[in-house]
Chain A
């Protein structure tokens, strides 16, 4: 579903990602872990064409996207959704308008039909009563849930999550994790989740990839990561409590 082949990304000769090779199978959830500034979010932005790689190939659904123009990319993006780190809700629109945005812009559905889908998605994230609220009237956790509802409104095949539980209290973070798991199980979506919350990664991911200074240094299921011999992995997953 998603294949990255020898992907490099540099800013002003500073290499952010080095020779990344990664595959995500259909229906799989991959968590990408790593310290802040290790290149996780850049990797996510490359996967949805918000940034272009310096070299290498990025294949989404058997199409190499790094050389497509914006119009061709848009066709692929219609099958993808993204939950941003700070939600990125349109602050001039209500919650309902945010969730229905993609459908309003890119489908022939009537207002009533869009409204029905918005209601369904809001019920899924438990925010039925906040349909007419503006984003600035919502808490951080609510915004994340609206962002998730917006990402799944178009029934995408792939969802990318950028730090979905960062800045949330443990209970709200747990709720978001359950929602991610639920959407994966119910809708069969392929997910890539960038996080540095290890509990979240173990709970939602089929496989975990760890990035360190722009390189993938570990890849496998939760057990493989937990049992990794690499000190850098052990230091990260133990929260720095292992002293080298």
Chain B
């Protein structure tokens, strides 16, 4: 019981830390960060992540169609495949997989960079030069992730659906039928809901990434541990919040 209690207390303390950092960051948002910093982070955290998101979603769309097409054809429901794949990608797979890929790439990059700054006293140097590290480091990353994650999801959704179309052609489902089923079954909320999720996932990735960076312990080992914890916790948080967001958005 004591072990379970201590585990729960530790988790609560960490989640409390995330929330406090988020509140501090929102407080710092009152002073607009320099646009240059936000754009640099958007390029670094968003644009550079596009190829891996595109690749992930292309294969996800392909495999989804691969797994469903044969069954759907057996029941004579081949005219619904485009819609089913696109809804699955738009509502769940697009935002979640983009979030997970971004947590691995972007979250790890954020934590590694900030924790290295921490252990080499660069964060102290910022403070000494009267610059708030949260305003300078966390705010631009938070804004960049909140803007770029939905944009990545837009690309991911389109590419995922395109991947489905490639395999649908292989099963002799015509392009017209595939597009028509998207047109009939898919509504705009299937995409907008996914984009709302992506904004939340952007917040999760940025805040958890920055938290572990700012509170990294000393040395190279500290940087490694912080990066691992950041990625693991961000992925868990993404799945956890995805469940709740799906309930709120699509129930």
Contact = CB atoms under 8 A, between A and B. Distances in A.
A77 B129 CA distance: 6
Interface string B97-120: 000000000000000010011001
Contact of B128 (A81, A85, A91, A106): A81
B127 A77 contact: yes
Closest 6 CB pairs of A and B: A74-B130, A88-B121, A88-B125, A77-B130, A82-B128, A102-B129
Interface residues of B, number: 14
Interface of B: 113, 116-117, 120-122, 124-125, 127-132
A84 B130 contact: no
B129 A101 contact: yes
Question: B interface, by DSSP: helix, strand, loop or mixed?
Answer: helix
Contacts of B124: 45, 50, 84, 88
B241 to A, nearest CB: 30
A189 to B, nearest CB: 15
Which of B113, B125, B132 has the largest count of A CB atoms less than 10 A from its CB?
Answer: B125
Interface residues of A, number: 25
B121 A80 contact: no
A31 interface: no
Contact of B125 (A45, A70, A84): A84
B120 A77 contact: no
Contacts of B129: 77, 101-102, 105-106, 154
Nearest to B134: A70
A105 B130 CA distance: 9
25 contacts: A48-B128, A49-B127, A70-B132, A74-B130, A74-B131, A74-B132, A77-B128, A77-B130, A80-B128, A84-B121, A85-B121, A86-B120, A88-B121, A88-B122, A90-B117, A90-B122, A91-B116, A91-B120, A91-B122, A101-B131, A105-B129, A105-B130, A105-B131, A106-B129, A106-B131
A75 interface: yes
Nearest to B40: A92
B144 to A, nearest CB: 15
Interface in A59-82: 70, 74-75, 77-78, 80-82
